[in-house]
Amino acid sequence: MSALQELFGQFDIIEAFWVNIQLTVLAGILAFVLGAVLTIMRISPVPSFRTAGNLYVSIVRSIPLTLIILGCSLGLWGQLGVELADSSSPTFIAVNSFRLAVLGLSLYTASFFSESLYSGFNTIPVGQIEAARSIGMNFSQIISQVVAPQMLRGSIAPIGNTVVALAKNTTVAQAAGVFQAASVLSAMLEFRPDLLFSIFLIIAFGWTIIVLPVGMLFTYLSKKLVVAR
């Protein structure tokens, strides 16, 4: 039996990476929605909204992700008793930890999505927004019909970078007790240090399969949807 076969037979490597993919998809969706809301707040004509949006982005980006994940796990659940799963379920701890990790990743990544979208907003000529106001369009109409389509097209590349970073950041979910790639890596290094090179190949190949297609997709989209000026 080869070293790779031994490792795949002894450790649930595929399931571990599948958890990372699930964390990326779920946290990515929630973070993008929250990031879009933050971006709208930052370009809002209401000063209090702009201040709140900018403060959130500035503060959250400066906090280590591990601290945010621990805050959700130990703070929300451990201290405040916030439960995101059925406490009577036999899988309560695993499911609750997973959902808390998704929450922490979403809160953190939303600030980076907001920055990505804001960079797309900055590519829109000011004259277009002024012209929309001059014909009587209100703020919601300007956002939905003028700003959003161009902002999204102009921020494809930075959004892709944020998604790639999020995928790799899902390993921090180990701090909340979520079993994923970082967990299985630790277990393999502890129990099979004799197969160090094979362990490295498996983890590197696994992350390449996850990250490379995402990077290629967003690179293609950024070139396909580029806004000609």
Rounded Cα distance between 182 and 171, Å, is 5
Tens digits of residue pLDDT in 174-198? 888 888 888 888 888 888 888 888 8
> What value does the CA radius of gyration of the chain take, rounded to a whole number of Å?
21
The CATH T-level fold of domain 3-224 is MetI-like fold (1.10.3720)
Tens digits of residue pLDDT in 11-68? 888 988 999 999 999 999 999 999 999 999 998 888 999 999 999 999 999 999 999 9
pLDDT of residue 113: 95
Lowest mean pLDDT among 96-100, 108-112, 130-134, 201-205: 130-134
Tens digits of residue pLDDT in 77-91? 778 877 888 888 888
The mean per-residue pLDDT over the stretch 150-163 comes to 88
pLDDT of residue 159: 92
State yes or no: pLDDT of 226 exceeds 80.
no
Tens digits of residue pLDDT in 100-114? 999 999 999 999 999
State yes or no: pLDDT of 167 exceeds 60.
yes
pLDDT of residue 137: 81
Rounded Cα distance between 30 and 83, Å, is 18
More confident residue, 67 or 76: 67
Contact between residue 49 and residue 41 where contact means Cβ atoms under 8 Å apart: yes
The mean per-residue pLDDT over the stretch 109-136 comes to 86
Domain ranges, ordered by start, for the chain: 3-224
Rounded Cα distance between 14 and 1, Å, is 19
Rounded Cα distance between 101 and 170, Å, is 8
Flag whether the pTM goes above 0.75: yes
